[in-house]
Amino acid sequence: MPLFSCMKPYKILSVVGARPQFIKAAPLSKAIAASDNLTEVLVHTGQHYDYALSQQFFDELGLPTPQYNLEIGSGRHAYQMGQILIKLDAVLEKEKPDMVVVFGDTNSTAAAAITAAKNNIPLAHVEAGLREWNKRIPEEINKMLTDAVTDLYFPPTQTGVDNLKKQGVTEGVYLVGDIGMDLIINNLDKIERHKNLLEKLSITEGSYFFMTCHRAGNTDDVGQLEQILSIFDTIKEPIIFPIHPRTKNTIEKHGLQHYLEKKNVVVLEPIGFWDTQVLIQNAKMVLTDSGGVIKEAYFHRVPCLILQKEIEWIEAVREGWAKLVGSQSSDILSGIRSFERPTVWSGFLGDGRTATRIVNIISHYLKNIDQ
């Protein structure tokens, strides 16, 4: 599909701050660079500042160096968002972009959306319309705040479109597919080149569990986290567990390290995108509370147990590739024992051309409002 062409170069200011956003931003930055009427200013809020969660992804995904790093760091939700509002406002005043683009559902997403709206700058939301319908989940609040001020909505699935319609939003909504799949579908060779990781970890295809756990609901509640970790006492197969800094801190603070000392548990520091794909692709089963990992497991057709009771990617649950089990150890173990591999796989996440669609739509939108 050819990119839309016009005379005026429009400035797109993209805001990222956390690992899932780097994954979504990489294909879009590439598509913007390939267009003949858009330029990009990339802003990193610094919400994720650890090398393994930030710079490592910029390096391996080929993301351009951000023109701005707001260096927000960690902190309470209101503090993070307040700092982004203040610092990003100054950037918008200086750059005067034609559109702000935000991704997903982090504090960086919501704060950037509000800042754009307060500056009367059109806003595009990549991954709009997803809902868990539970306001106790921080990400759900961010989704609702962002979609309340968005101009161009880019839901990845029909469910996202339907959710927006339920809330009275039908204008500016475009079903484009999941932009994270662009990276995987268009780089299968890179995943294959990282497959020697299995040998390094002394594991074989289909013989191990891959697990991640980082959501605040699971890591801030020590009892809930201990329920999840206690499955290590029962599972005999190798468990590959890249550990998030938040999870690691809770484990150390509350003396739960003994769960990680089981012979079959392989604890890794946060790993890169391609290594993550290798470990998901070749796992017997995935256990996770990460929306991104759920999607990736679905793409690779690997069974997935979701360590939550709510999920945005309900299509994966409907088709049987993912199952909601929550955080109770008995429910997780029951889910492992009773899981039956499905026979249906619709590939609902997209075809690897989402970024190009988004760039075309943005170009057309900006030309129209400029007339």
The distance in angstroms from the start CA to the end CA of the chain is: 24
Based on the fold, state whether residues 199 and 271 are members of the same structural domain. Answer: yes
For 82-103, the pLDDT digits (tens) are 999 999 999 999 999 999 999 9
343 inside domain: no
Residue 303 domain flag: yes
Residue-by-residue DSSP string for 201-247: TT--TTSSEEE----HHHHS-HHHHHHHHGGGGT--S-EEEEPPHHH
Q: Are residues 136 and 222 in the same domain?
A: no
C-alpha to C-alpha distance for 2 and 19, rounded to whole angstroms = 30
| Amino acid, single-letter form, for residue 223 | G
pLDDT tens profile 240-289: 999 998 899 999 999 999 999 999 999 999 899 999 999 999 999 999 99
Token reading at 90: 């100054």
The answer to whether residues 193 and 161 belong to one domain is: no
- CATH label of the domain that carries residue 48: 3.40.50.2000
Domain that holds residue 313: 188-338
Specify whether 162 is located in the same domain as 226: no
The answer to whether residue 344 sits within a structural domain is no
The SS3 call for residue 40 is: strand
Could you give the strand order of the β-sheet that contains 239-242, starting from the edge strand earlier in sequence?
A: 265-268, 239-242, 209-211, 285-288, 304-306, 322-324
- The answer to whether residue 158 is domain-embedded is yes
339-348 burial, b for 16+ CB within 10 Å, e for fewer? beeeeeeeeb
Mean pLDDT, the chain, as a whole number?
Answer: 93
Domain match, 312 and 364 both = no
- The verdict on 27 and 124 lying in the same domain is yes
Q: Domain for residue 308, yes or no?
A: yes
Closest CA to 271 of 193, 194, 185, 192: 194
Same-domain check for residues 170 and 232: no
Residues 49 and 130 in one domain: yes
106/218 same-domain check: no
123 inside domain: yes
* The amino acid at 125: H
* Residues comprising the chain, all counted: 371
Closest CA to 309 of 335, 272, 337: 335
Residue 49 has what pLDDT?
A: 57
Catalytic site positions: 214
Q: Which residues pair with 154 in a beta bridge?
A: 126
pLDDT above 90: residue 51: no
Q: Do 282 and 323 belong together in one domain?
A: yes
| pLDDT tens per residue, range 11-42 | 999 999 988 899 999 999 999 999 999 999 99
How far, in Å, CA of 149 to CA of 45, rounded?
A: 20
How far, rounded to the nearest angstrom, does the alpha carbon of residue 225 sit from its chain's CA centroid? 21
Given a contact cutoff of 8 angstroms between Cβ atoms, the answer to whether 113 and 146 are in contact is yes
Q: In terms of Cα–Cα distance, which of 298, 358, 310, 299 is closest to 102?
A: 358
State the Cα–Cα distance between residues 24 and 36, nearest whole angstrom: 21
- Answer yes or no: do 34 and 164 share one domain: yes
In this structure, is residue 5 part of a structural domain? no
| pTM confidence score | 0.90
Q: Is residue 1 part of a domain?
A: no
Say yes or no: 106 and 234 in one domain. no
Q: How confident is the model at residue 5 (pLDDT cuts 50, 70, 90)?
A: very low
Q: How many domains does the chain have?
A: 2
Q: How far, CA to CA in Å, does 260 sit from each of 54, 119, 242?
A: 25, 48, 11
Residue 63 gets which letter from DSSP? P
